[in-house]
Amino acid sequence: MKSNQEIVQLIEKLRKLDTKNMYLNDFFHTWKESDDEIAAVFTVAEILRGMRENNISTKVFDSGLGISVFRDNSTRTRFSFASACNLLGLEVQDLDEKVSQIAHGETVRETANMVSFMADVIGIRDDMYIGKGHTYMKTVADSVEEGYRDGVLEQRPTLVNLQCDIDHPTQSMADMLHVINYFGGVENLKGKKIAMTWAYSPSYGKPLSVPQGIIGLFSRFGMDVVLAHPEGYEIMSDVEEVAAANAKASGGSFRKVNTMEEAFRDADIVYPKSWAPYAVMEERTKLVEQGRFDDLKDLEKRCLENNAKFKNWTCTEELMKTTRDGKALYMHCLPADISGLSCKEGEVDQSVFDRYLVPLYKEASYKPYIIAAMIFLAKFSSPSDKLAQLLKEAKPRIK
């Protein structure tokens, strides 16, 4: 538990960071944010968590809505968003949008305004279709920006990307904050090797935004970022270029290797996780748009057959032994496909998964605070002053 003094120090750290461009802005991709902005999200997340541990209220909204839009079912992300909103004083309202509706721009603009009269934040998860998710979010953000400018809305709702086809910033930043705490500080990450690797799963169509998000963010911290996947399971090349540029700028490296074995060797962190090949995801989007559902089934069948060729891409105890001192930090965004537990053959051995249960839950526990920090930084022009004021008032959360 953080002491009052530690929270004060974090607020002072925040004060030195330039966050003025975050004010009244949106959060789409980590690589569109400056280093100061990324550091500010981590810092505010830590401060909010510290205050909650100390039963200090962080309810900065007296009223206001947080709108959530989920294009597919999501218990975890939904609860993380609801938790973040609640922590700040916003009430969540869910907007049901069916996956099948790939709405045209005008409808999106109208709906975005109609649900936003009292909205301070809109959280969207739309990761199902390549080329669609981010575009949809951008349209929503532009629509409410216009609505605010035109006097339709009394406030400008902030958009928080809860997972799109390109990035999953609330996941990658929760993951990174976990890593920072695990290794005792961001300054200890230089030179650490992280293996972001594909792993076998008996399911199909898992989004690419997790591996993309991880390499796009972790490459900023001077780490040795290694991506591994079977042939054909390429991710977006744009994001690989982002990772390469980040690595260069941060004094780290970004490499691709061909086997899980090579990726795991001497790794400090391993992140074995399944995803669908980019090409398959592209084909899938087209087939859905054209309503060719028989072809979709065929695509799924072919994809699963192809997956099955790579059942040996799985995080075993043997592989774990090859990591740094045999003790790499195992990470996953959850839920994982656990061999012998949730499926016959999956991403990870049960014994490995079980050993990392508490770290995995802690990893997930940062997400609500990351989301809350993104909202906070978009709503206060001087976030450090506001947090200092909350700390000083020290209004109890449970009275």
Residue 17 or 115: the one with the smaller Cβ distance to a copy of itself is 115
Backbone phi and psi for residue 27, each to the nearest 5 degrees, phi listed first: -125, 105
Residue 57 or 253: the one with the smaller Cβ distance to a copy of itself is 57
Considering only residues 8, 23, 72, 86, which one is a binding residue for a copy of itself as defined by CB under 8 A?
A: 86
- Chain residues 115-154 in contact with a copy of itself, contact rule CB under 8 A: 115, 117-118, 120, 147, 150-154
Q: How far is the CB of 269 from a copy of itself (least distance, A)?
A: 19
272's tokens:
């074995």
Options 106-114, 257-265, 273-281, 308-316: segment touching a copy of itself (CB under 8 A): 106-114
Residue 35 or 106: the one with the smaller Cβ distance to a copy of itself is 106
Backbone phi and psi for residue 65, each to the nearest 5 degrees, phi listed first: -115, 145
Helix (H) / strand (E) element for 194: namely strand 193-198
Q: How far is the CB of 86 from a copy of itself (least distance, A)?
A: 5
Contact residues for 301 (Cβ-Cβ < 8 A; gap 6+):
none
233's tokens:
């399971």
13's tokens:
């750290």
Q: DSSP states of 350-379 as a string?
A: HHHHHHTHHHHHHHHHTHHHHHHHHHHHHH
Q: Which residue has the tokens 């605010």?
A: 148
E strands, 108-151, where?
A: 119-125
Burial of 73 (0-12, 13-18, 19+ CB in 10 A): exposed
Options 15-23, 29-37, 90-98, 129-137: segment touching a copy of itself (CB under 8 A): 90-98
Options 5-13, 112-120, 217-225, 303-311: segment touching a copy of itself (CB under 8 A): 112-120
Residue 196 or 338: the one with the smaller Cβ distance to a copy of itself is 338
Backbone phi and psi for residue 117, each to the nearest 5 degrees, phi listed first: -60, -30
Q: How far is the CB of 367 from a copy of itself (least distance, A)?
A: 8
Contact residues for 244 (Cβ-Cβ < 8 A; gap 6+):
219, 254
Contact pattern from residue 334 through residue 373 relative to a copy of itself, giving x for each residue in contact according to CB under 8 A and a dash for the rest: xx--x--xx---------------x--xx-xx-xx-----
Considering only residues 15, 23, 111, 287, which one is a binding residue for a copy of itself as defined by CB under 8 A?
A: 111
304 scored as a contact of a copy of itself (CB under 8 A) = no
Considering only residues 79, 131, 248, 318, which one is a binding residue for a copy of itself as defined by CB under 8 A?
A: 79
186's tokens:
């961001």
187's tokens:
């300054």
99 scored as a contact of a copy of itself (CB under 8 A) = no
Type of residue found at 376: F
Q: How far is the CB of 60 from a copy of itself (least distance, A)?
A: 5
**Three-state secondary-structure class, residue 263:** helix
Residue numbers of the site for a copy of itself (CB under 8 A)?
49, 52-53, 57-65, 75-76, 79-80, 82-83, 86-87, 89, 91-93, 95-96, 104, 106-107, 110-111, 113-115, 117-118, 120, 147, 150-154, 334-335, 338, 341-342, 358, 361-362, 364-365, 367-368, 379, 386, 395-399
